[in-house]
Amino acid sequence: MAEVTLQVENMSCNHCKMSIEKALQALDGVDAAVVNLAGKAVQVVYDPARVDLSSIKRTITEAGYEVK
């Protein structure tokens, strides 16, 4: 398992938190996704053999948020 913390812009409320966590957790290979609103951060635990970082970033982008 690998772990990454991404800085994500324009998350403002619990709805943002829920949509990003839900979108990431639906990705095959993602074990856990936790949004820290105050820190503008998303922590993701994933299996690098099943999903790569670019897919994780793309999923966040497609949910409507900007990964720095």
- 35 neighbors 20 (Cβ within 8 angstroms): yes
Map residues 3-42 to x or -, x wherever contact with Cu ion holds by CB under 5 A: ---------xx-xx--------------------------
Residue 28 CB, shortest distance to Cu ion, in Å, is 26
Residue 9 CB, shortest distance to Cu ion, in Å, is 12
Q: Under DSSP, is residue 10 helix (H, G, I), strand (E, B) or coil?
A: coil
CA trace torsion 14, 33, 19, 59 (10° rounding): 140
Residue 42 CB, shortest distance to Cu ion, in Å, is 14
